[in-house]
Amino acid sequence: MRPPFPPLYQAFVDTLRADTAALIGALEERIIEEGLEIRISSVLDAYVETRWFNVVTGRSGDGDVAHPEREILLRFWVDPLGPLGYQLTAEAVFRRVSDPSLPSRQREVMVPPGHDGEAILLRILDGVRERFGG
């Protein structure tokens, strides 16, 4: 379930003192509170991914081809750091182009600072940090 590619280099990274199951559960709660749908969630793979979400309409899966920057996808990776706790890495991406000939990941870029997708991601991360410290 975890994708074969790493997070983008601009992804948000934090260290938290909680186990994988607790972090995945907290992420799921916060994602749902924000109105997004979860596409993949796996404690075993330590990974959560949302469905594409249109930040203008507030709905998942709109397929806004005319405005790809409006549709975001959130991904979260949880990795053990030994006694320090766990590293939570998170990204919010949108499709920079709608060229179906390119692999999906090559069409994605991190949302820019100030984008509504970044605000959603930061609210989710703040809620998880508040619960577990970061």
Q: Which CATH code is given to the segment(s) 12-132?
A: 3.30.310.80
Write down the residue that tokens 């766990």 correspond to: 86
Write down the residue that tokens 């249109």 correspond to: 54
* C-alpha to C-alpha distances, 110 to 31, 33, 60, nearest whole angstrom: 18, 22, 18
CA-based nearest residue to 17, from 77, 76, 75, 83: 83
Domain ranges for the chain, please list them. Answer: 12-132
End-to-end CA distance of the chain: 26
Give pLDDT tens digits along the chain (134 positions).
Answer: 899 999 999 999 999 999 999 999 999 999 999 999 999 999 999 999 999 999 998 998 766 677 788 899 999 999 999 888 899 999 999 988 767 777 778 789 999 999 999 999 999 999 999 998 76
Write down the residue that tokens 């959130």 correspond to: 74
Residue 43 has phi, psi (to 5 degrees) of -70, -40
CB of 5 closer than 8 Å to CB of 108:
no
Q: Is the pTM of this model over 0.85?
A: yes
Instruction: Kindly state the tokens that stand for 33.
Output: 């509170």
